[in-house]
Amino acid sequence: MLDKLAVARALREIGLLLQAQGENPFKVRAYETGARALEDSQEDLPALVSSGRLTELRGIGEALAKKISELHLTGRTALLERLRTELPPGLLELLQVPDLGPKKVAALREALGVGSVAELEAACRAGRVRGVKGFGEKTEQRLLEALARFRGREARLLLSDALELGERLVRHLRAGPDERVDLAGSARRRKETVGDLDLVASAPGPADFAGRLTAFPLAAEVVARGETKTVVRLASGVQVDLRVVAPEDHAAALHHATGSKGHHVRLRGLARDRGYSLSEYGLAALDGGAPIRVASEEELYARLGLPFIPPELREDAGELEAALSGALPTDLVRQEDVRGLVHCHTRWSDGRATLEEMAAAADALGMEYLTITDHSPSAHYAGGLTVDRLRAQWDELARVQESVRVKLLRGTESDITEDGLLDFPDAVLEQLDVIVASVHTRFKMDEAAMTRRLRRAMELPVFKIWGHARGRLLLEREPFECRMEEVLDALAGARGAVEVNGDPHRLELEPRFLRLATERGIPVVLSVDAHSTAAFGYLRFAVDTARRGWIRRGQVLNALPAEAFARAVRPA
């Protein structure tokens, strides 16, 4: 028995192995598409299988439906088992090496019997690669360099770091007011981590954007330099791609460079259906005729009969279907909608600023309310408050309240204990305005135990806000295991809310799960999880993440005025 996600994983593996084998790329894509269709489907896999309705999903035909049923019911399928035995296990890793695709991998395997990264490295060092048809000395050298980078694993950036670096690059490249430089790529889509930076530049007159990029202080190596495209690698290993275009092509190029790839593939298919070919230069009629220049991304979508799709939604995760049917949300939450800061720590526990400083900073930002949520007793590692210290904090809070406009709310970030309980007595919890409940310990419980732990906590009457959902730390710690749909069902049943944590290391609940939460009518809180006043700036990342999860203004509790917010989160 495999569940939906496990079946999707198996399909992806088949696709990759077929690709490594040099199979028809469209067939390879079909497996990827099928895996995606399955993941995005709202329905239960057992129901889809038993009623034979798998083929109703777009991208799943007879052959895939058969394999999916087989994988679901028996956990295996002959094709995958055959591929696994026929192909050397190191082959998939070889495909991950930059500059190596299926064709080159196949050629190397054919000519030299290379079936792993280690074997490739040995062959390069021995100078045997240059003798293979289609390979030369330069390629051999490039491969050695690519392998060295591959060993150190590619450098990835947190979204916050990517935006900072991207904004710096924009400032560096733009030399005058009539020049236009935009950050595109996954940073513009606000993905939680970013592998490389994409920029688009244009100017009405002559401007040496490429020269400026190669002269960027952090640039270490020029990877490619052509007429319109320049690629450099920074000392940190991060790659920067720059496209330089004519001003009239800027909008189309920006759209192209923003991606995602999946969104573009679907959009170009749609354009084709409408009699156009879509490229980075805009639209062109399929039956010849001059290219149609678009002045903005809005115009590009409009010419295809679609409303504007914001970059955060361009993931081929149903946004095109929604756009076609008029179901695309038009009131995605924006930063200016947020009226209160939720989830803030002070020096009472592990914050670096005093309660007074936090209050003053929130005031200065024009916030209507601020919830002070220091850690609870069992969070020894973070200076969690005892009941006595919590009560003492309320006194200080009352005193500080006299000197600030922002409404201060009493709260806690309570640990969810191993048993699925909160660690203040109910009598104390009931006197609080806001309770954020989070897992901080025992991340390695198995999926069933963790699911029970969370469900039990959510069934407590005082449970209101689920903090930094699965406790991941981006690029550092994987999220813990739990059955998310079951947990969200429990949260919905308890009329609780979920946090979108804006700490750049967290950015949870993840977008795909936010959409599951929305289906269940679960409201969200956009939080900063601030341990300093500077961290109030994390709000933008919470907003970005929420938008990626299609969260609308009306679902956000801290977009409500203070009184309505307090009513909505009060422990009952």
Partner DNA sequence: GCCGTTTTCGGCCCGACTGTTTTCAGTCG
What are the start-end ranges of the E strands in 399-496? 407-415, 434-438, 465-466
Query: By CB under 7 A, what part of segment 74-133 binds DNA?
Result: 79, 97-105, 130, 133
Minimum CB separation of residue 204 from DNA in Å reads 20
For residue 377, state whether it binds DNA (rule: CB under 7 A): no
Q: Which is nearer to DNA, 14 or 500 (CB)?
A: 14
Closest distance of CB 482 from DNA, Å: 32
**Pick from 12, 142, 172, 293: which binds DNA (CB under 7 A)?**
142
> CA 416 to CA 433: how far, in whole Å?
18
The yes or no reply on residue 290 touching DNA (CB under 7 A) is: no
> CB of 22 within 8 A of CB of 104?
no
CA separation for the pair 46, 55 (Å, rounded): 14
Residue nearer to DNA on the CB measure, 29 or 389: 29
If residue 501 lies in a helix (H) or strand (E), which one and from where to where? strand 497-501
Q: Which of 451, 436, 439 is nearest to 345 (CA)?
A: 436
Q: Which two tokens stand for residue 93?
A: 């890793």
Distance CA 347, CA 353 (A): 6
Instruction: Find the farthest-apart pair of alpha carbons in the chain and give their distance in angstroms, rounded.
Output: 80
12 binds DNA (CB under 7 A): no
Q: Taking the complex as a whole, how short is the minimal distance between the CB of residue 519 and DNA, in angstroms?
A: 23
Q: 21 or 441, CB closer to DNA?
A: 21
569 close to 557: Cβ distance less than 8 angstroms:
yes
- Is residue 504 close enough to count as binding DNA by CB under 7 A? no
| Least Cβ distance, residue 23 to DNA (angstroms) | 9
Distance (Å, rounded) from C-alpha 529 to C-alpha 538? 8
- Nearer to DNA (CB atom), residue 242 or residue 409: 242
User: In this complex, which beta carbon is closest to DNA, that of residue 261 or of residue 477?
Assistant: 261
By CB under 7 A, residue 162 contacts DNA: no
Residue 311 dihedral angles phi and psi, to the nearest 5° = -50, -35
**Which residues within the stretch 29-58 sit at the binding site for DNA (CB under 7 A)?**
29-31, 33-34, 55, 58
- Which listed residue (125, 168, 261, 334) binds DNA by CB under 7 A? 261
Instruction: Using alpha carbons only, give the angle 424, 426, 429 rounded to the nearest 5 degrees.
Output: 65
Q: Of 269-277, 332-340, 349-357, 445-453, which segment contacts DNA by CB under 7 A?
A: 269-277
Cα–Cα distance, 548 to 69 (Å, whole number): 31
Using rule CB under 7 A, residue 236 touches DNA: no
Q: Is 61 one of the binding residues for DNA (CB under 7 A)?
A: yes
In the complex, the smallest distance separating the C-beta of residue 470 from DNA, rounded to whole angstroms, is 28
Encode burial over 500-528: b for 16+ CB neighbours within 10 A, e otherwise.
Answer: bbbbbbbbbbbbebbbbbbeeebbbbbbb
Q: Given the complex with DNA, which of 62 and 388 has the nearer CB atom?
A: 62
237 binding DNA? (CB under 7 A)? no
Q: What is the dihedral of CA 229, 234, 236, 241, to 10 degrees?
A: -10
Instruction: State which of residues 36, 49, 117, 135 lies at the interface with DNA (CB under 7 A).
Output: 135
Interface ranges with DNA (CB under 7 A): 24, 26-27, 29-31, 33-34, 55, 58-65, 79, 97-105, 130, 133-140, 142, 185, 196, 198, 224-230, 239, 241, 257, 259, 261, 264-265, 268-269, 272-273, 275, 277-281, 284
